[in-house]
Amino acid sequence: MKSKRPLKILIAKAGLDGHERGALVVAMGLREAGLEVVYTGIRNTPEQIVASAMQEKVDAIGLSSLSGGHMAQFRRVMEVLKQEQVKGVLVFAGGIIPDEDVKKLQKLGIQAVFGPGSSIASILTFLRQRLR
C-alpha cells in the first residue's frame, strides 16, 4: 500500500516544560527527509494536542518531554485520543524518560520511545516501517 502523499507528523510538547531542542531538531530532520511536519510549540494541554492531530489529520504524533512530567501528560493524551475515538494514529515519544516508564508508556499504547542520543535516521526508519 503505497501512497504518494508524504507522511504527516505532529510533534508536540505537553506540560510546562520548555526544552524544545529535541522536538525541534526532530521536526526539522523529518521535514528535511520529506515528511510533512506540524510543530505545535511548547505548553500544550493533552486536549490541544489531540485537537491539532485531528484537525491536521496526521499519521503520527510525536510527544516530547524533558521535565519528568511525561507519565501524567502522555497518559492523558492517550485517554483523550480514546475519548475522541481517534483511530489509526501512531503515537511515539522522546525525551528524558527512564527505562521503567518506557514499558508503562508502551502499555498505554505509545509505540516507541526515543531517548537521548537517538538519531533522526532511526526515527525515520520506525515511522516508515510502521506507517507504510
Binding residues for another protein (CB under 8 A): 15-21, 24-25, 27-29, 32, 39-43, 67-69, 71-73, 96-99, 115-117, 119-121
Please report, as a single letter, which amino acid is at residue 20. E
Closest to another protein by CB, 106 vs 116, is: 116
Residue 31, amino acid: R
**Residue 119, class by beta-carbon neighbours within 10 Å (0-12 exposed, 13-18 middle, 19+ buried)?**
exposed
- Closest contact distance (angstroms) between CB of 47 and another protein is 11
Q: Report in angstroms the alpha-carbon separations of 19 from 40, 58, 95, 108.
A: 13, 23, 9, 24
Give me the residue label for grid cell 510549540: 41
Is 3 or 94 the residue whose CB approaches another protein more closely? 94
**Which parts of 41-132 are beta strand (E)?**
60-65, 90-95, 112-114
Looking at beta carbons only, is 90 or 95 nearer to another protein? 95
Side chain identity, residue 46: P
Nearest-approach distance from CB 59 to another protein, in angstroms: 20
Q: What is the smallest separation between the CB atom of 98 and another protein, expressed in angstroms?
A: 4
Residue 21: CB minimum distance to another protein, A: 5
If the CB atoms of residues 88 and 117 are measured against another protein, the closer one turns out to be: 117
